[in-house]
Chain A
């Protein structure tokens, strides 16, 4: 299976996971921390966050279907019919986890559609989105750990949640800003959304660093394998891009956030956030390749 297809499949799946987590983060962590309280606007923004969740859930469904296709192509015995091999694959532990995930993604789509109309939809969407965040852990390297398997499974799941809150949270902030601009031309919302997002981003980055370090510690036989294996080199590439994104974040926090509320400041923050989000896509693609590569 080509590296490009693996990268695209993982990007769609991880992209979907970050969007649904970002939507959840917007609903429970970012919107309630906005400094100004405007009930009508808050209700509209919550509906927009649910709409982003629908897009993310559909992306997860598409990503999971691509993921199954890729797995089937790799798994298939050329002498057996596709249908027999698909049935065989679905009967494996991997297949059963995939089935649970695709049912969860379908329910999540429904829950986000519901959340656009009634607040109760969020109560269903939140646990489903968090549970789907565990899918990469249970079908990846963490599941193969000989020792401390529950620790690595939890760390990988928390890594996905934190990445979702960071990358997806930023996507949600931009989505809310741009969608509100479509509804009715008005002052930018960034002055109230960005400070609320900043604290979420900082906690997320701390969790990402800790869980990433723990996973690397478990996967790497020694520090030299960082340079001698494809997995190690991909990890270094990922860390390099993460540093670039952290640079964006620091600039946004130190220089652009104090300028929010002015036309030029809001414009500069919008541009910077879009660029940051674009670079974050590289992290998702590298991660997609990382999980398909043996650490040894």
Chain B
């Protein structure tokens, strides 16, 4: 009798949980927005700024800005925004000459998933 009662309670609880509004689902670490935007053409930016979907694990974010033509790495170290911990940026030293640049980034979410991706932007001649 006790076992049947436990089983029935379990089923009821499962149904209640299924029907109840869930909390916001577990976020997954990834890139939300960037500046410059992916695929955009811009005047030489002073920095590349990435906004992630969640705060990454400490010490895991790396951002590289590479000129597509000669694979010259311009920047390596990423800094965390003091106001929004999900935002990281790299300052670009000097003015980037007109070219297409590839931004490659890596980070690890709170769930241990390592995510890496790339996008391109172009610096216009003017």
Contacts and interface: CB of A to CB of B under 8 A. Distances in A.
Interface of A: 71, 74-75, 77, 79, 88, 91-94, 139-148, 202, 206, 209-210, 213-214, 217-223, 292, 294-296
Contacts of A147: 23-24
A52 to B, nearest CB: 28
A143 B10 CA distance: 25
A143 B108 contact: no
A213 B6 contact: no
Interface in B29-60: 29, 54, 57-60
Contact of B58 (A92, A148, A218, A223): A92
Given A77-B106, A218-B26, A220-B22, A93 B58 contact: yes
B68 to A, nearest CB: 16
B108 A146 contact: no
Contacts of B73: 79
Interface stretch (B82-90, B93-101, B110-118): B110-118
Contact of A206 (B7, B23, B24, B26): B7
Contact of B25 (A75, A77, A292, A296): A296
A94 B23 contact: no
B79 interface: no
Best-surrounded residue of A147, A292, A294 (most CB of chain B within 10 A): A294
Interface string B1-35: 00100110010011001101011111111000000
A92 B111 contact: no
A294 B112 CA distance: 11
Contacts of B59: 88, 91-92
B62 interface: yes
A287 to B, nearest CB: 15
B6 to A, nearest CB: 6
A152 B33 CA distance: 29
Contacts of B26: 141-142, 144-146, 218-219, 295-296
Given A92-B58, A220-B22, A296-B28, 12 more contacts: A75-B108, A79-B73, A88-B59, A92-B57, A140-B111, A142-B111, A202-B3, A210-B14, A213-B17, A214-B17, A295-B28, A296-B25
A145 B28 CA distance: 10
A140 B26 CA distance: 10
A243 to B, nearest CB: 14
Nearest to B24: A146
B113 A294 contact: yes
Given A91-B59, A206-B7, A295-B25, A144 B14 contact: no
Contacts, number: 92
A289 B13 CA distance: 27
B63 to A, nearest CB: 11
A144 B111 contact: yes
Which 9 A-B pairs give the minimum distances between C-beta atoms?
A144-B110, A144-B111, A74-B114, A294-B28, A221-B25, A147-B23, A217-B17, A213-B14, A139-B112
Contacts of A77: 62, 106
A94 B108 contact: yes
A247 to B, nearest CB: 15
Contacts of B24: 146-147
Contacts of B28: 144, 294-296
Contacts of A145: 23, 26
Contacts of A144: 26-29, 54, 109-111
B25 A94 contact: no
A272 to B, nearest CB: 21
Nearest to A212: B14
A71 B114 contact: yes
